[in-house]
Amino acid sequence: MNFWLIKSEPVKYPFSKMKSDKITFWDGVRNYQARNNLAAMKIGDLCFFYHSNEGKEIVGLVKVVKESYQDPTTEEVAWVAVDFAFESEFPKTISLAEIKAHPILKDMAVVKNSRISVVPVRPEEFDIILKFCHQ
């Protein structure tokens, strides 16, 4: 199993909507690196849900339930979508500032490649964040 972080602006698609929808498709990604990350996802992979722009924090967890397929918002074959299911909302969020201040998390892809909307998360980063958000 691999771990990822997906970003969404709360005004466009907040985690509360993900929670009520239960399952959604992730489309509209128009960055090749983010697209490659979507294409690498496998069923069962877990993803942190990150509110970008407003909030700048990890708020919950989703799971890949359908691997990459043609993005329905475009006819260009270069772009893919992935389906996610709600897993859990965290009792405590972790902000970008807290991530940057942590000696291990400060090197996360979300910090180093802040403009990429879909990034990998290393297993040790995943474990630290999960523990932090369940304190």
Please write the tens of the pLDDT for every residue from 36-62: 999 999 999 999 999 999 999 999 999
Strands 3-8 and 46-51: parallel
Q: What SS3 class is residue 27?
A: coil
Closest CA to 121 of 134, 131, 107, 133: 107
Q: Which two tokens stand for residue 12?
A: 């466009």
Q: List the chain pLDDT tens, one digit each, 135 residues.
A: 999 999 999 999 999 999 999 999 999 999 999 999 999 999 999 999 999 999 999 999 999 999 999 999 999 999 999 999 999 999 999 999 999 999 999 999 999 988 899 999 999 999 999 999 998
**Quick one: 89 exposed, middle or buried, by C-beta within 10 A (0-12, 13-18, 19+)?**
middle
* Partners of 93 in beta bridges: none
Q: For the chain, list the domains and their CATH numbers.
A: 3-133 (3.10.590.10)
